[in-house]
Structure 1
Amino acid sequence: MKFEFGRAAGRRLGLHAGAAALALMVLAAPAAGQAAADPVREPGTVVADKALPVAAEVGGAASGARQLTYWTEGPTGAPALSTGAVYLPNGTAPAGGWPVVSWAHGTTGVGDDCAPALGFDVTSLTRDYVSAWLAQGYAVVATDYVGLGTEGTHAYLHGRSEGRSVIDMVRAAREVTPELSTAWVAIGHSQGGHAAMFAAHEATKYAPELDYRGAVATGTPANLELLFPLGGPGFPNLGLNGLTAFAAYVVDGLKVARPDLPFDDYLTPAGRDLVEASESLCFLPLRERAGTFGVGEMISRPLDNELFRSALRDYLAVPTTGYDRPVFIGHGLRDQTVPYPLGAKLAADLQLTGQPVTFRSYDAFHGPSVFEALPDTTAFVRSLFGTA
């Protein structure tokens, strides 16, 4: 079943030694003629450029792969470092450079060991999906997000910082890779769909020197700010894949972005233990650790108060107005990780406010839906670059 509406117009202190040393040099070096200059921490500025670990390579479709560490914005609004990977297609770049796909990955975890550009790969999705875009002649740049492989803890599903990591990854890649065009699109799945939507919302304003064309978001965890306040003692097991692990990551991220929130007062002892474990365990081990432990056993008091509702909106809510380039949203009807109604409501809200949205559904589960959507997203992205 497919349908469409709208316009189709288109913590860890794990910074690796080399990156840390170079970052310290950047921070310490004064500008000419100044005794003590401010550090160079402009968004997109590269502080480390090295070979990509073998485990992070994607195979024969890529050439010139490298790992970057670059400045972007953290969850509190302060400058922060992110790592990411750059993959170039085989062959010679066209006139004007390779068009760019900025890929936002799905949930891997929040600890340094869970960073894809450092070699972590929870499934074949990243390798196979990135290869599919490379084979079509797009360069792929892939952020890890702030805190995955860099100092501090990754604030999972913090929309603003994840979106800016996606945008600044394009800036960083272009700083060291002259073969890249200024023209780019954001593409993300699951957590990455959430990040891609935030990137889409502010790309032209935040990085006007780039030629942002549009975005693709599949399996997007939208409207979670409406669901989390329902959490509390006795919250039922909804049968969703990894729900308690995802909740632990969100709580951990909120504690990073909003240290003023008294979250420990709202967690059971077992809940606090799980959130602490989430800081180091990647997704599959954390899901195994959670076992049958439910959200209702994790939270000791209802979250349905204005303090937490407001914090959750600021942290999670995907904007539903203000998009100035086309957006494609896809979702699997059988999705048991991010239920289909969440994505459908996001698309409906965008359509109702007159946003340039294309929405399609697929008879697929969460992971496979990104590949089921590939023929449609391929055509959509080609239309954005004028090569359809």
Structure 2
Amino acid sequence: MNRFITAVCAAAIGVAAAVTASGPAQGDPGVVDQVTDLDQRIPGSATAERVVYTTRNSLGEPVRASGALFVPQGTPPPGGWPVIAWEHGTVGRADACAPSGTDFTFYRPYLENLLAQGYAVAATDYIGLGTPGEHAYLDGRAAAQASIDMVRAARAADPTLSSRWAAAGHSQGGHATLFTASIAAVYAPELDYRGAVAFAPGASITDTMLLLGRPGTPDILPAGMKTYTAYVLGGVRAARPAFDLDAYLTPLGRRIVADGARLCYDDMTATLEGVSMADMFAKPLSEGDFEAVARPVLDVPLTGYTRPLLIVQGTNDIDVPAPMVWRQAAELRAAGVEFTITDYPGYDHMQALDATHAEVNPYLASLFR
């Protein structure tokens, strides 16, 4: 699924950072380290560049992240191209899975749609995908900061971009988009944040892990859900390195989590066919410190939303089941968050993204009026 591009070329341009390609990240969030041309182009893009920049993980530590910047063809409108911060769905936890180093796989049509609407696309890889360190899968705060700092870095790399921006993401990226929406106005007050669209956002993650993560769990999950489980476990450990995850895992479970750090989604899922998730756990995740450690990493914030928010969900989604999203929506409403949720009867995980342009494109356009 993920064809890694090895021919990233050209010397860095637009360098404006106190970081190096091999050293630890320093400096302010959004500072550009390196800009190189991408071999792959999304149809409708005038330029395609890979940007390496400084951001912060969820512990507040400076780290590097990478992403792709696509700028539309034609003349920018007055004030510059409005920006969509694109937050991608699950590809894996290994560097070889990073979208800016691949062909963007199944997200290319959606990015083409955004470019056709006249948006520049600033698409973070997140931390640890294509840059040093492990990817903390579903660490929402880290992903949100990487996405917002990608907008900062994109504007530094290309002066034709406007300060006006919105966030959009799918699945893992929908989860990240909810975090982005909760912090954007405060985290980057110099930017003009307009709102967000979260497609099939990952939701109720900690509660699901507490329910399923135990010896004796019935072997009823498809292999893809086992992949998500392994990625979540590895992501929590990457986000909180002091946490003793191994205490919960059997030797098989430790091997599977280790495999998750090196295998992209399709290959990881293939290795889990016939593996029972119950055999991964030495004791239930509901015991000990797992819940206290995981909730700040995984649970969607219930405050901070100051701009319009749209959640889009297909009722036939088996990757992010609709009841989990509806539960998340109920928690947001109970906390006083104002948002819109639109359900699409019969739509699956990808249809919620690819078959909803007619409704979502006008919504995005309204954010920039």
Name the residue aligned to 2:42: 58
Q: Say if 2:170 and 2:200, in contact at 8 Å, map to a contact too.
A: yes
Name which of 324, 329, 332 aligns with 2:306: 324
1:21-45 CA distance string (max 9 Å, x none)? x9998348xxxxxxxxx98521000
Q: How many residues align?
A: 358
Residue of structure 2 aligned with 1:45, choices 16, 26, 31: 31
User: Please, which of 209, 212, 216 is the counterpart of residue 234 of structure 1?
Assistant: 216
Q: Distance in 1 between matches of 2:202 and 2:151?
A: 24
How far apart in 2 are the matches of 1:95 and 1:23?
A: 26
Other-structure match for 2:271: 289
Alpha-carbon shift at residue 307 of structure 1 (Å): 1.1
Q: Which residue in 1 is equivalent to 2:3?
A: none
| Correspondence 1:384 to 2:364 | no
What amino acid is aligned across from residue 180 of structure 2 in structure 1?
A: A
Bigger relative contact order, structure 1 or 2 (CA pairs below 8 A, ≥6 apart): 1
Shift of 1:327: 0.6
Given that 1:320 and 1:346 are in contact with CA atoms closer than 8 Å, whether structure 2 keeps it comes out as no
- Tell me what 2:239 maps to: 257
Identity across aligned pairs (percent)?
41
Q: Is 2:77 aligned against 1:99?
A: no
SS at 2:42 equivalent: coil
**Secondary structure at 2:190 match in 1:** coil
1:132 aligns with 2:113: yes
How far is 1:241 from its partner?
A: 5.8
The aligned residue for residue 229 of structure 2 is: 247
Displacement of 1:351: 2.2
Alignment match, 1:9: none
How far apart, in 2, do the equivalents of 1:19 and 1:265 lie?
Answer: 45
Deviations 1:323-353 (A, max 9, x none): 1011100111111111111111122222232
CA distance in 1 between counterparts of 2:155 and 2:252 reads 46
Q: Which amino acid aligns with 1:170?
A: V
Residue 140 of structure 2 contacts residue 298 of structure 2 at CA under 8 Å; is this kept in 1?
A: yes
Instruction: Determine the structure 2 residue equivalent to 1:110.
Output: 93
Structure 2 distance, partners of 1:300, 1:375, is 48
Which range is displaced more, 62-71 or 353-362? Answer: 353-362
Q: Which amino acid aligns with 2:80?
A: G
Alpha-carbon distance in structure 2 between the residues aligned to 1:164 and 1:263: 25
Give the direction of change, closer, same or farther, for the CA distance of 1:74–1:52 in structure 2 (3 Å limit): same
**Paired residue for 2:57?**
74
Matched, 1:222 2:203: yes
Secondary structure (helix, strand or coil) at the match of 1:255 reads helix
Residue 315 in 1 paired to residue 315 in 2? Answer: no
TM-score (norm 2): 0.92
**8 Å CA contact 2:138, 2:235 repeated in 1:** yes
For 1:31, the equivalent position in structure 2 comes to none
| Runs of 4 or more above 4 Å deviation | 16-20, 22-25
Question: Which residue of structure 2 aligns with residue 184 of structure 1?
Answer: 165
**CA deviation digits over 1:66-93, x for unaligned, max 9?**
1100000124321111111111111100
CA distance in 1, matches of 2:81, 2:215: 52
Q: Please tell me whether the aligned partners of residues 240 and 337 of structure 1 are also in contact (alpha carbons under 8 angstroms).
A: no
**Paired position in structure 2 for 1:200:** 181
SS of the equivalent of 1:144 reads strand
| Larger deviation, residues 148-157 vs 292-301 | 292-301
Partner of 1:3: none
Letter in 2 for 1:370: L
Partner letter of residue 18 of structure 2?
A: V
**TM superposition shift of 1:382:** 1.3
Q: Label 1:116 to 1:39 Cα distance change in 2 as closer, same or farther (>3 A).
A: closer
**Residue of structure 2 in register with 1:348 after alignment:** 330
Structure 1 portions without partners, runs of 5+: 1-13, 29-37
Return the alpha-carbon distance in structure 2 between the equivalents of residues 259 and 173 of structure 1. Answer: 30
Match of 1:171 among 135, 140, 152: 152
CA distance in 1, matches of 2:257, 2:111: 31
